[in-house]
Every structure is written in structure tokens, then in C-alpha cells.
Structure 1
Amino acid sequence: MPDLKLIAFDTEDLGVISAQLQDAVLRVGDMKYLPKQKRFVGIANRFDWQKFAEDAQASKTKIAPEYERRRCAVRFERVNAVKVHGFDLNDKRAALALLAMTYEPTAGSESPEGDVTLTFSGGAAIRLGVECIEIELKDLGAAWATKRPPEHPEDAS
């Protein structure tokens, strides 16, 4: 699989990056807000959903699927504020599982200003107050095997 390098400038682009990062695991210590640069950055271990889809197709021919994760960097630009909920910023080793990223424009504003929210399992969240959507996702190296795909409570039925 080639390394991903994606950039988002609108909600449609954000949806693509959100889908690629669904079930990514991030440590609290691997995220940082850089207020002078108006930047929020993080390092994540993302589940390779594209490979999973390809393997699911191949499994119809009785080939056992192989699951992979990839280390990636995520960079949010033009960030004016960061608010966190549901986790301790001082617990640098704590791991968060990303469920989705969404954007909500500022009510009554004609500008592209708004909030990008990163929603994690267990009710944790990070809200980034942004001037506009400007996000980059970039893989940082080779993939590694993992034993199983992420599971969600609704998958158990």
C-alpha cells in the first residue's frame, strides 16, 4: 500500500480524513497545541481501512484477511483555541480511540470559522476553534500487522 498524504480544506475533505482515521489510537502525550503557530498536531496509529476492505473482498475467495496499522501524523492549521473533555491531559500515556472528526461553522458567521471536533470512545473529545478547515494526514512509515480489526459494540450482534 502506498503511504497516504491527504489535505482537507472543506467538510467533504474532512470526511475523507475522518474515515481514514476512524479507530486510530493516539496517546495523550503524542498530541500538542502550538498556540504561537496556531497549530494542533498529533501522532496516531491508524487502522488501514483500505487494506481491510481489499482483504474483505479477497476473503470471499477463502484467503484469510490480514489487518494492518500505520503510524501517521495529523496537523491542524489556523487553530485559535483548544478545549478537551473526558480525559486527563497530565496522563501522557493514556490512549484514546478516535471515532470521528466533524466540523461545525460558527453560527451566523459568513466566514469559514468554526469548530473541528475530534470524538473519541468513552465520551472524550477535543474541540479545535479554527479560522477555517486546513488539515493534513500523512503516513510516517511502513505498516505492521495487527491480530484483528477494531470492534464496535453494535458489531457484536
Structure 2
Amino acid sequence: MLKLAALDEDDLKIVSAHVQDAVIRVGDMRWDKGARRFLLEINRFAWESPVNSVFNQRYERRRSVLHFEGVQAVRASGITRDKVDDVLVLLSIRFTPEDAPAGTIELIFAGDHALRLQVDYVEGRLTDLGAAWEAGSKPAHFG
């Protein structure tokens, strides 16, 4: 099980690598404006798992929570909040500093979908919630 914290841009790159190809329902994303927290429940592909290999041909996913603190505002592009059953595939997370330590955290999804979180600082946490289950295949990347 994985438990990571991101407290700067370099940490966020590590978290981004671990959540690449995570599958997320729109209904599993929440912004608590009062607590200034944005939370996503995700099914992440366990890239770090020793069973995920070309030779083994067995792959795993894990239910995880990814959340960010100090969130002042959330903007979405191509995502409709009332379509709670729409599924998104997370490609990457990046941070753009604006007035350090404040800036923008962008969550980039397949299909030209994105979220922008205006944050006071970088503080994100990724926590696996339980056991892994077998995934039918490994995500394919073309380029």
C-alpha cells in the first residue's frame, strides 16, 4: 500500500507518476470550500507493483484517495459536475507557481479535460485505501 505526501513541485511530480492512468468518476470528486480541500477518490493503476511486468502479464489497480489542501478556487474544463457517472482518466498533475508558495495545480485528463486548483501552497496526499485487485490490462501509451 502506498502513502505519499507532496509538499513542493518535485514531490508533486512523484505523486503524478503514481496516479498516471487513474480512473475517476466525476461524482467521486469533491471540493470542500470551507475546509479549502479538494478530494478525489480514484482507482489508480499500481505502476510500482512487482506483479506489473511484461513477463508476468498480471496487473493491479488500487482504490486510493488523492487530496489537496489550501485550495482557494476550482475551475473545470470539459467536465460537467452533474454528469456524476462520467469517467475520466488522469494523465498528469503539474504545478505552476504564481506568487510562491501559491500557484496553480493542474490535473490533466484524457480527452482535453482538466481541473485547475488555485492553491496557497502545495500540499497533496495520496493514500491507498485497501487491497489491490487484478486489472484486465496495462494502460497503453501511444506517441
TM range (shorter): over 0.9
Superposed CA offset, 1:53-76 (max 9, x none): 8623xx2xxxx3210000000110
Aligned to 2:9: 11
Residues of 1 paired with 2:21 and 2:93: CA distance?
Answer: 11
- Contact residue 52 and residue 66 of structure 1 kept, 8 A: no
Provide the TM-score with structure 2 as the length reference: 0.96
Residues of 1 paired with 2:114 and 2:27: CA distance?
Answer: 15
After the TM superposition, which segments of 4 or more aligned residues of structure 1 sit over 3 Å from their partners? none
Specify whether residues 47 and 113 from structure 1 end up closer, same or farther in structure 2 by C-alpha distance, changes over 3 A only. same
Corresponding residue to 2:88 among 75, 90, 96: 96
- Provide the identity percentage: 41
Matched pairs, number: 143
Corresponding residue to 2:104 among 115, 119, 127: 115
Aligned to 1:86: 78
Provide the TM-score with structure 1 as the length reference: 0.87
Shift of 1:145: 0.4
Q: Are 1:34 and 2:26 counterparts?
A: no
Unaligned 5+ segments in structure 1 are none
Superposed CA offset, 1:48-107 (max 9, x none): 101268623xx2xxxx3210000000110000000000121110000000000000011x
Structure with higher strand content: 2
Unaligned 5+ segments in structure 2 are none
Q: Are 1:73 and 2:62 counterparts?
A: no
